Amino acid sequence: MKDYYGTLDIARNATVAEIKKAYFTLVRAFPPDRHPETFMKIREAYEVLVDENTRRQYDLVDSMPGIVKLYFNEGRKALDLGNAEEAIRLLEQVVKVHPHFSVVNSLLGEAYLENENSGKAIRIFEELVAQEPNHAGFARRLAQAYAMRGWHKKAVEQYRRALSLDEDNISLWLGLIDCYLATKDFTKASETVREGLAVSNRKGWDNLELYYHVIQIDIFSNDLISMNKHLEEMKNKAVENEEERANVAWFLAVLSKKIHGLGLYEESAATIDAAFTLLPGDEELEKIKKEIDTQASIHTELKQLQADPSINSHLAEMLDFELHMCGNKFCLDCVITQFFLEMEVILEIESYRKEILRLKNSYPELYNLKREFFNNVLNRKKEEYLFDTYQKKYKKYKKLDPEKFEIEDDEEEDYKIQPYTRPEPKVGRNDPCPCGSGIKYKKCCGK
């Protein structure tokens, strides 16, 4: 595990200017959205060493008794590895011996934050801020603890105070912007981004992460004109600076996923295309591009299906729901809604077969979303199986959530799946398929 000087790759006698220069260089190489864990280590080292008092205390760690120094270093290591509980156990032992050592207390507060114990973290950082009011890092951590607690107004005050002490700390700008976004104050968030951009341009440090946030604000505000304008600015940054190319490409890839999640499928596809033009051949980007292009194609097909009068609109409704399920396989609401949509098809299985065949031929991507279900519906050999299965499902789900099955008495029979009876004479394997395809049953629906 590197010490703070090693993390920033500086000498132990480095000046404040050298510390800041090393910080900016590393942030450019390891932006927080692409390398969150590495960035956190860089930020921690910077905030300790840039302040004269905490740097002096950190330098005194080497003079601690052997067992105390060991506990401190092992506590840092546990926190780096994501084991907050072990870090807390070790650092609490150090605090018993050195109760007023702010570097140790700060690390313990960080462990409490990682463990989502905002109450204890707040107590620690409120004391540290009172003891060292000029330390921007302690103010940032207190703001973070307030935000975790949901006290966004207090968090904003601390971020603002921290920025007055160190406006070069990118974490302070990002934290403040996130606070405004959490409360949906897009105006303040946008103003803060512009303020941060002005500072970064004046002082010459990298502002890629601020662009990330300004485009997020554009998305949340549904301002696609501004979003495209800022995207163009970012692409120009990548062209101007070869070193930024990978980071800008990664940013665009992450952004394309966010835009896709908001239902802006064409914009999402265009954004990932822009990322891929910056880093052609990148395997990770290629994978993301393939996923987004596939999803964009599916949604394009869905729009066409919804406007197609030749196919029952119920199938479009079913597939639309399939695309927007919550993703939790244990969600009973989704499971029961899906059941009702499928049951409608089972109840009218004969009339839906021709509809599903048209879907298969005209909208293959959509058909594949429920390929197993549709194949079963088309396979006449599965009729009895489907009727029995959905009759059992009806009884099961009605017991689990009776409210969703509350219907008028005279409608009960319409929704109940009746015992299976063959609707027509048995079709031989070499007979023409009843679906009207013109080929033998065994090579069509009888597969």
408 vs 251, which has greater pLDDT? 251
Dump pLDDT digits (tens) for 393-404: 999 998 888 888
pLDDT at 370 over 50: yes
Highest mean pLDDT among 75-79, 279-283, 366-370, 440-444: 366-370
Which tokens hold the place of 352?
A: 């839906």
pLDDT band at 76 (very low <50, low <70, confident <90, very high): confident
Percent of the chain with pLDDT strictly greater than 70: 89
pLDDT at site 409: 43
pLDDT at site 61: 75
pLDDT band at 245 (very low <50, low <70, confident <90, very high): confident
Q: Which stretch of 76-90, 225-239, 372-386, 421-435 has the lowest confidence by average pLDDT?
A: 421-435
pLDDT band at 256 (very low <50, low <70, confident <90, very high): confident
CA distance 218 to 225: 8
pLDDT at 155 over 70: yes
Sorted by sequence, the CB contacts under 8 Å of residue 157 that are 6+ apart come out as 143
Give the angle subtended at the CA of 415 by the CAs of 413 and 417, to the nearest 5°: 85
pLDDT at site 307: 93
222 vs 286, which has greater pLDDT? 286
217 vs 407, which has greater pLDDT? 217
pLDDT at site 1: 46
Report the predicted TM-score, pTM, of the whole model to 2 decimal places.
Answer: 0.62
pLDDT at site 111: 94
Helix orientation angle between 208-220 and 224-240, rounded to the nearest 10 degrees:
160
pLDDT band at 408 (very low <50, low <70, confident <90, very high): very low
CA distance 188 to 176: 10
The helix (H) or strand (E) run that includes residue 270 is: helix 265-278
Dump pLDDT digits (tens) for 185-199: 989 998 999 899 899
Which tokens hold the place of 111?
A: 């462990």
DSSP 426: P
Helix orientation angle between 265-278 and 283-306, rounded to the nearest 10 degrees:
160
**How does DSSP assign 3-31, residue by residue?**
-HHHHHT--TT--HHHHHHHHHHHHHHS-
pLDDT at 374 over 50: yes
pLDDT at site 2: 62
364 vs 259, which has greater pLDDT? 364
Amino acid letter, residue 396 = K
Mean predicted confidence (pLDDT) in 309-338: 88
pLDDT band at 112 (very low <50, low <70, confident <90, very high): very high
Mean predicted confidence (pLDDT) in 309-331: 87
CA distance 203 to 225: 29
CA distance 113 to 117: 6
Residue 193 to residues 78, 79, 197, 208, 274, Cα–Cα distance (Å): 34, 31, 6, 11, 23
Percent of the chain with pLDDT strictly greater than 90: 42
pLDDT at site 271: 81
pLDDT at 220 over 90: no
Q: Which stretch of 136-150, 353-367, 407-421 has the lowest confidence by average pLDDT?
A: 407-421
Give the mean pLDDT of the chain.
85
Domain ranges of the chain: 222-307, 310-420
Answer yes or no: are the C-beta atoms of 436 and 378 closer than 8 Å: no
pLDDT band at 243 (very low <50, low <70, confident <90, very high): low
pLDDT at 412 over 60: no
pLDDT at 241 over 70: no
Answer yes or no: are the C-beta atoms of 417 and 343 closer than 8 Å: yes
For 85-136, list the strands marked E by DSSP: none
CA distance 162 to 181: 19
CA distance 208 to 229: 15
